[in-house]
Structures are given as C-alpha cells and as structure tokens.
Amino acid sequence: MLDLATQIEQIEVCAQTIAQRLPRAEIAVVLGSGLGALADMMKDTVVLPYAEIPHFPQPTVLGHSGKLISGLVGGKRVYAFSGRFHYYEGHDPQTVILPMRVLQQLGCQTVILTNAAGGVNMDFHAGELMLITDHINLTGYNPLRGANDERWGARFPDMTYTYDPALRDLALCVANELGITLQQGVYCGLCGPSFETPAEIRMLRLLGADAVGMSTVPEAIAAHQMGMRLLAISCITNMAAGVLPQPLSHEEVFATGKQAEKHFSALVEGIIRRI
C-alpha cells in the first residue's frame, strides 16, 4: 500500500498532466466493457492515451481501450474514460480509484459510472440497462483503507445517498422520454476474475442483489467520499451463472454490451444534456 504522501503526489502529477493536455470538464463518464460507443459520438474531442498519463496503467481487458477523451456530449464538456483499472488485474485499491481522486483534483463535480453486469434478478434480460440504486460490497476490501487526507472528505463517510437521488430521477425521466427500458436495482461488487458460481448467485439473490459485477463499487465509494454527484448504470450483458443452461464468457459480455450501445449512448447523452 502506498503511503499518503506518495498517493497525493501521484494524484497531483496525473491532474497536472491532464490539465495541460485536455480541456477541463465538470462531468466524467467511465465506460464499461463494450460500452465505448459514447466516445465515438463526442464532438470536438482531444484524446490522451493512458500510456501518456503518469501512474495510469494500461488496461488489459477486452473492451477497455485505455484512453481519456475530452469532448462535447449534449453540448457539455465531458471526460470519458475509455477503460478502467480492476482489482483483479493485480492493481492495488489506490490504483483502482486513482481516476476518481484525479477527477476531484481537477474540479470535476459529477461522475457517471457504467459497467457490464450479470443479471441476478430473474425478471431481467440480457441487453437491458439497470439504474443502480444501491450496492453491496463483497469485494473483501474498502478503497478508503489506510491514511485519509481531509481534502478527500470524511474518514467515515455515510453511504446512504451514494447514488444521487436527483440524478436517478433525471435518468428515469430521460429513459421514459426515449422509450428505453431502464430497470432499477442493487449492484453487488465482487473481485473476480472468475465468474460467480450458481450457488453464489443464489446467495446474492437472497441478499437482495439484482446484478453482479467486478467493478464500480470502489470507484463509487471514493467518489461519494469526495462529495461528487454520482450516477451509475449497468448493462445487463448476460444472465448470471445458473439462470440459463449455458456457460459464461467475457466475449459474450463484450458482444452484448456492443449491441446495447445505441440505447446506452442515447440515454447517457440525454442525461448529460439535462444536468
């Protein structure tokens, strides 16, 4: 685990590099597996590869291209992270949440997190979108562990309103206007990289989870601690283990995410336009 002084130094260097290379934005979107089409519809874009940002590792997962894009979406300047860092790739928790810390340093006020998730709720179908109303952290770790800098927020942050109620209402309104089915539910975060067993999915269903995935929760915790407005949307790319009589694969996750990109991009564009 990095000491606090090293973490702060890395965050400042990352923020300085981004500020020098990209126009500033007050809204950021983190794009999950297979959900990169939003980046293609952005206007007036400037691209900064992760390889050119100090301390940003290169993503190793299909569907995560590894670049930060500044562009216009719905007439507003947005940062789009095309690729994220996962704990299962071998990164420590501080690296997983590094983009969130950097965004706060840059003055970004609103974050939209997206992910590909497995459907635990039996009423869901692959290709649908789910608005995250709450989460269950079963990763086995908390990204706030270790020394805390008071500039990040409370040492013991309240998590009741992690997912901003006003932004959730806005997302539902936009989805209704666009005729897009937007489910609502609880996202459960696990470490991965193995998919869950059928027994684990039955357990998660009993615990109240509607979808399961391997990201988002650490970023949500860090962003909320720092007082950022947070919205999160899952693309249900497959039904979780044991729901259907077929094996799971990341290729299926990626392919279904690509199929859902049109609705996803339209929804996010509409939300950003109205923020």
- At 161-215, the pLDDT tens digits run 999 999 999 999 999 999 999 999 999 999 989 989 989 999 999 999 999 999 9
- Cite the active site residues: 33, 64, 86, 88-89, 116, 214-215, 238, 250
CB contact at 8 A, 222 and 97: yes
The distance of Cα 53 from the centroid of its chain, to the nearest Å, equals: 19
For the cut 50, the answer to whether the pLDDT of residue 242 exceeds it is no
CB contact at 8 A, 143 and 135: no
- At 137-162, the pLDDT tens digits run 999 999 999 999 999 999 999 999 99
* Higher-pLDDT residue of 44, 64: 44
Q: Which residues pair with 236 in a beta bridge?
A: 117
CB contact at 8 A, 32 and 236: no
Mean pLDDT to the nearest integer, 56-70: 78
What φ, ψ does residue 190 adopt, rounded to 5°? -120, 170
For the cut 50, the answer to whether the pLDDT of residue 62 exceeds it is yes
4-274, which class in CATH?
alpha beta
pLDDT band at 33 (very low <50, low <70, confident <90, very high): low
For the cut 90, the answer to whether the pLDDT of residue 130 exceeds it is yes
- Catalogue the E-assigned strands of 214-263: 229-239
Dihedral sign computed on CA atoms, order 130, 131, 134, 138: positive
